[in-house]
């Protein structure tokens, strides 16, 4: 298995130590630290409630990210969507592949390969946990698509759902679908 250096620009402020990629400050943390915190919250409040909270926060964050990155790079429409999924993939969450995208209709289908969550859950449990564990990502896709559509003056608003997860028996990849409200 080969490896390579990160493919995204990372600047570190000499005075503050803040890491920045493109237009936004970033955090660089070990995956186990992040996922263990995620699992700890899930254990306390339940996966369903945690998924609801993360959907709203993720939607808001993706909307903001796409707005900032579109302005930073002077891009719009599908270019923002593809840039977003590229950056997500470059940051180690997994590989996000657009299988379908129609901004005007408010639809998209995203395949997720090599999910950081699936990897960690399987490492901890020694097997597939047979449930959807990538729910943190779900709101991201609706937030991104809504920002892109709104920036183009389109009235469509969307919702997203994870329809399959690689942590489920018989599944090797995850899928997310975005549909109009």
Provide the pLDDT for residue 4: 92
Distance between CA atoms of residues 20 and 13, nearest Å: 8
What pLDDT shows up at residue 1? 80
Specify the DSSP element, H or E, that contains 51.
helix 47-73
The predicted pLDDT at position 154 comes to 98
pLDDT given at position 23: 81
Residues with pLDDT less than 70, the chain: none
pTM of the model: 0.94
Please name each of the domains of the chain with its CATH number: 11-180 (3.30.1380.20)
pLDDT score recorded for residue 113: 99
């Amino acid at each position: 298995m080969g490896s390579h250096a990160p493919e995204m620009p990372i600047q570190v402020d000499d005075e503050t130590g803040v890491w920045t990629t493109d237009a936004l400050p970033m955090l660089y943390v070990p995956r186990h630290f992040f996922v263990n915190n995620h699992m700890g919250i899930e254990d306390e409040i339940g996966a369903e409630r945690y998924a609801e909270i993360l959907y709203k926060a993720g939607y808001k964050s993706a909307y903001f990210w796409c707005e900032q990155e579109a302005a930073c790079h002077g891009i719009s429409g599908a270019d923002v969507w593809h840039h977003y999924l590229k950056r997500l993939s470059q940051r180690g969450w997994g590989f996000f592949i657009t299988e379908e995208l129609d901004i005007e209709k408010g639809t998209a289908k995203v395949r997720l390969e090599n999910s950081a969550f699936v990897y960690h859950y399987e490492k901890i449990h020694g097997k597939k946990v047979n449930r959807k564990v990538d729910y943190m990502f779900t709101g991201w896709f609706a937030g991104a698509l809504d920002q892109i559509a709104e920036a183009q003056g389109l009235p469509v608003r969307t919702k997203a759902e994870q329809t399959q997860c690689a942590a489920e028996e018989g599944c090797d990849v995850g899928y997310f679908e975005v549909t109009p409200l």
